[in-house]
Amino acid sequence: MRPYKLTSILFVIALVLLDIAYLGGIVEWWLLLLPFVAYISLLALGAIFIEWNFYLRSFNKGKKEKQIALTFDDGPAEITPAILDVLKEQNVQAAFFTIGKNAAKYPELVQRWHEEGHVVGNHSYHHGFNFDWQSRRKMVAEIEQTNHVILTTIGVTPLLFRPPYGVTNPNLARAVSQTGMYSIGWSVRSLDTRAKEPSKLLNKLLNEIKSGDIILLHDSMAITREILTDFIVQARKKGFTFARVDQLLDIDAYA
Ligand SMILES: [Zn+2]
């Protein structure tokens, strides 16, 4: 049972028991508010932390000793070719979770991802701020639209889906299940979209990595390209090898 369902059941039980206690004159009225506050807090935290697997099961970490996987979100973007140059030079295969409208804009970069041995995943079509407030039907439409762009560009249908912002909720859980996708989270969040100093970003990543980690990066960020060679070289010196996320997890990347 998902934590979401268990939490909902416990919420109802707590509410009924407290109601009985209140009617029996055992507790004060304000104690009735406690289950609401706890329930709403848990629902919100469960939405934010994909690694809790609160609403749906996501793959957030692998089990292979000393292997780590690089994942890049939000591309293709202008910086993508430079990132691909680094990966080629260092002989590292990664995963690119593409925003469908960007894939439609830069089909030649989607082809380059595929030709250079990287895996292409789905990261919604618009990646709008309102993505998580949409109905299941609209989420399914975005996932399918992006899969269609990828299929017509490189001839394969992705199975890997990364929720925009890593936010999950019941509608998304149903959309992922309906489309038969695997939800892919992460265990190391680089925060490269907010990073200002390359050396800090590099050190943060090198200090955090452990066996099986899935690292979240963005191929829309110049700072990410700046640290990428150093990160790969120094992670290798620490004994890590780079695997593609589908290989790290032993799952199929395409239908
Ligand atoms: Zn994103």
Provide mean pLDDT across the span 125-149. Answer: 97
pLDDT at 170: 96
pLDDT value at residue 226: 97
Ligand 1 center from residue 185 Cα (angstroms): 11
- Rounded CA-CA distance 60/45 in Å is 16
Are the CB atoms for 214 and 188 separated by under 8 Å?
yes
25 CA distance to ligand 1 middle (Å): 51
Q: Residue 100: name the closest of 143, 140, 131 by CA.
A: 143
Mean pLDDT of 142-170: 97
Q: Compute the C-alpha angle 64/235/66, nearest 5°.
A: 15
Are residues 76 and 104 in contact, defined by beta-carbon separation less than 8 angstroms? no
C-alpha 106/C-alpha 97 separation (Å) is: 14
Average pLDDT over residues 142-153: 98
Strand, helix or coil for residue 133? helix
Provide DSSP, 118-131.
Answer: -EEEE--SS--TTG
Mean pLDDT value across residues 196-215: 97
CA of 216 to the centre of ligand 1 (A): 10
Rounded distance between C-alpha atoms, residue 122 and residue 15, angstroms: 40
Q: Where are the alpha helices (DSSP H) in the chain?
A: 3-23, 33-48, 80-90, 100-105, 107-115, 136-154, 170-179, 198-208, 222-237, 245-249
C-alpha of residue 192 to centroid of ligand 1, in Å? 12
The pLDDT of residue 120 is 98
What pLDDT is attached to residue 187?
96
Please give all residues whose CB falls under 5 A of ion ligand 1, grouped by chain where several chains appear.
73-74
Joined together, the tokens standing for residue 168 give 């999950």
185 CB-contact burial (10 Å; exposed 0-12 / middle 13-18 / buried 19+): buried
The mean pLDDT value of the chain amounts to 97
User: Ligand 1 centre and the CA of 23: distance in Å?
Assistant: 49
Per-residue model confidence as pLDDT tens digits over 5-29: 999 999 999 999 999 999 999 999 9
Percent of the chain scoring above 90 in pLDDT: 100
Q: Each residue of 233-250: pLDDT tens digit? A: 999 999 999 999 999 999
**What does pTM read for this prediction?**
0.94
Buried b (16+ CB within 10 A) or exposed e, 96-111: bbbbbebbbebeebbe
Residues catalogued as catalytic: 73, 218
